[in-house]
């Protein structure tokens, strides 16, 4: 007994402890590292912006160094329980990207970075995560987002002095020819352009769109969709938990005036009531349907179009209709700035073959239960739609980190990582429970 208890408490360096019931649990250090990695991935841009405003001038190199440190935290946990599946997938993806680099005669570092994020955070959630842990971490992030969002909403001048977002993106290369700034120090698209105006509660909230810790209202809207998807995936018996996530998502969408968020959440809500069971598998055709729509829309539109959702769809459709074999298979165009054309970015950067393999692999993930299967379906809808109106949002660490960690927490892991709420009752040899 002494040896057993010693084994249970010796492991404080991040390895798994074994309870008397034979159930593995994670050490406090591992739980702290996981929280730091996921929370850090969400707020690191805000912290760097704060440092750039008041402490030192940041740069692209500083941002890359901070991101790399977050990846190392994930690796620190994953490597202690490395699996052959992780090594095989990582090797396959790296080999294919290197093959593309040889065919292009140029190495696309950003392509590696965009794919390492989902791989690392998915495996982090899969190996040490659980639904309960995901709930707790997501609630912490939501609390931080809402507090900072309210601060920005009610004290926008003070927020602008604390976070000079214009200066931060200027020093880190976040501004280009397609960037639309609100003026002063506010965030990208911090206000709606003249003639468009706010969609949600314009008379109450005015023209300002909240960014919170994400520095951009677009990212806040994307995070709101992820939060709503997590709530809608809950079982009906967990309606109180679901209500918290849905209400939080509604508040964030309102703050950010996210039209994409509003439309996507409405689609997800409708799916929760209409689609069930194996019907969810139909969403696997989401990207194909999205591309077909993009190719059709320009033919249905006549005359001029503005800088709105329809305009983005028309421009993307025209670009995609001009793609040849080289662009479709990622042999050319990977260095072109396609702006908000997500499908154009994905095809030219990764190629159709890798995109198809990763998409099919995503649907082959074994989920713990129906909650995980529903969440996967909603994530597929989120990805299919966001690539229609945004170029790189799907790959942004500040929202992709938490997204893929949640997916990993839903994935089935043969080795349990968390003890049950109530330990099993001890029984006497005669089968009676001991008291």
| Boundaries of domain holding 162 | 28-410
| Residue of higher predicted confidence among 29 and 195 | 29
The alpha carbon of residue 385 and the mean position of all alpha carbons in its chain are separated, in whole angstroms, by 14
According to the model, what pLDDT value does residue 11 have? Answer: 43
Residue 422 lies in a domain: no
278 pLDDT above the threshold of 70 = yes
Q: Report the residue count for the chain.
A: 435
Name the least confident of 97-106, 180-189, 356-365.
180-189
| Residue of higher predicted confidence among 119 and 202 | 119
Residue 419 lies in a domain: no
Residue 3 lies in a domain: no
Mean pLDDT of 261-273: 94
7 pLDDT above the threshold of 60 = no
Q: What is the pLDDT of residues 161-192, one digit of tens each?
A: 899 888 888 888 765 534 444 455 665 566 66
252 pLDDT above the threshold of 90 = yes
| Residue of higher predicted confidence among 279 and 224 | 224
Largest distance between two CA atoms of the chain: 84
Mean pLDDT of 77-94: 86
According to the model, what pLDDT value does residue 208 have? Answer: 83
Number of domains into which the chain is organized:
1
Residue 428 lies in a domain: no
Residue 22 lies in a domain: no
3-state secondary structure the chain: CHHHHHHHHHCCCCCEEECCCCCEEECHHHHHHHHHHHHHHHHHHHHHHHHHHHCCCCCHHHHHHHHHHHHHHHHHHHHHHCCHHHHHHHHHHHHHHHHHHHHHCCCCHHHHHHHHHHHHHHHHHHHHCCHHHHHHHHHHHHHHHHHHHHHHHHCHHHHHHHCCHHHHHHHCCCCCCCCCECCCCCCECCECCCCCCCCCCHHHHCCECCCHHHCCHHHHHHHHHHHHHHHHCCCHHHHHHHHHHHHHHHHHHHHHCCHHHHHHHHHHHHHHHHCCHHHHHHHHHHHHHHHHHHHHHHHHCCCCCCCCHHHHHHHHHHHHHCCCHHHHCCCCCCCCCCCCCHHHHHHHHHHHHHHHHHHHHHHCCCECCHHHHHHHHHHHHHHHHHHHHCCCHHHCHHHHHHHHHHHHHHECCCCCCCCCCCCCCCECCCCCECC
Residue 115 lies in a domain: yes
270 pLDDT above the threshold of 70 = yes
Mean pLDDT of 286-308: 82
Percentage above 70 pLDDT, the chain: 82
Mean pLDDT of 107-121: 91
Mean pLDDT of 291-318: 80
| 335 band by pLDDT with thresholds 50, 70 and 90 | confident
| Residue of higher predicted confidence among 47 and 190 | 47
Name the least confident of 2-11, 135-144, 214-223, 394-403.
2-11
- How much is the pTM? 0.86
413 pLDDT above the threshold of 80 = no
Tell me what the pLDDT averaged over the chain comes to.
83
421 pLDDT above the threshold of 90 = no
Mean pLDDT of 134-144: 96
Name the least confident of 128-142, 254-268, 306-320, 344-358.
306-320
| Residue of higher predicted confidence among 50 and 178 | 50
According to the model, what pLDDT value does residue 170 have? Answer: 83
Residue 230 lies in a domain: yes
Residue 114 lies in a domain: yes
């Amino acid at each position: 007994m002494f040896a057993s208890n010693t084994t249970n408490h010796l492991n404080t360096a991040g390895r798994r402890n074994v309870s008397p019931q034979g159930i593995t649990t994670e050490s406090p250090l591992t739980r702290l590292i996981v929280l730091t990695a996921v929370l850090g991935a969400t707020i690191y841009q805000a912290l760097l912006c704060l440092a750039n405003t008041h402490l030192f001038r940041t740069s692209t190199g500083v941002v890359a160094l901070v991101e790399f440190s977050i990846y190392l935290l994930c690796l620190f946990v994953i490597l202690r329980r490395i699996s052959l599946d992780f090594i095989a997938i990582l090797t396959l993806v790296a080999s294919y990207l290197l093959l593309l680099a040889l065919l292009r005669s140029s190495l696309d570092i950003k392509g590696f970075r965009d794919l390492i994020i989902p791989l690392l955070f998915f495996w982090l959630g899969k190996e040490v995560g659980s639904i309960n842990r995901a709930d707790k971490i997501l609630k912490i992030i939501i609390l931080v987002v809402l507090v900072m969002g309210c601060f920005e909403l009610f004290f926008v001048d003070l927020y602008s002095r604390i976070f000079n977002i214009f200066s931060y993106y200027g020093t880190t290369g976040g501004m280009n020819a397609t960037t639309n700034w609100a003026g002063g120090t506010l965030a990208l698209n911090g206000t709606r352009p003249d003639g468009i105006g706010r969609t949600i509660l314009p008379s109450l909230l005015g023209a300002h769109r909240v960014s919170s810790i994400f520095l951009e209202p677009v990212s806040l809207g994307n995070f709101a969709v992820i939060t709503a998807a997590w709530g809608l995936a809950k079982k009906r018996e967990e309606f109180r938990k679901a209500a918290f996530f849905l209400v939080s998502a509604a508040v964030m969408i309102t703050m950010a005036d996210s039209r994409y968020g509003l439309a996507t959440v409405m689609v997800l809500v409708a799916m929760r009531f209409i689609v069930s069971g194996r019907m969810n598998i139909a969403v696997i055709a989401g990207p194909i349907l999205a591309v077909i729509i993009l190719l059709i829309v320009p033919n249905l539109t006549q005359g001029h179009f503005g800088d709105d959702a329809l305009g983005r769809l028309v421009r993307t459709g025209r670009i995609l209709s001009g793609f040849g074999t080289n662009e479709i298979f990622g042999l050319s165009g990977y260095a072109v700035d396609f702006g908000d054309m997500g499908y154009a970015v994905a095809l030219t950067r990764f190629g159709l073959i890798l995109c198809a393999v990763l998409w099919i692999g995503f649907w082959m993930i074994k989920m713990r239960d129906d909650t995980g299967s529903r969440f996967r379906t909603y994530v597929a809808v989120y990805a299919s739609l966001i690539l229609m109106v945004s170029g790189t949002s799907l790959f942004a660490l500040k929202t992709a980190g938490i997204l893929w960690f949640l997916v990993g927490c839903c994935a089935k892991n043969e080795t349990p990582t968390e003890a049950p709420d109530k330990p099993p009752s001890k029984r006497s040899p005669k089968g009676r429970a001991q008291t």
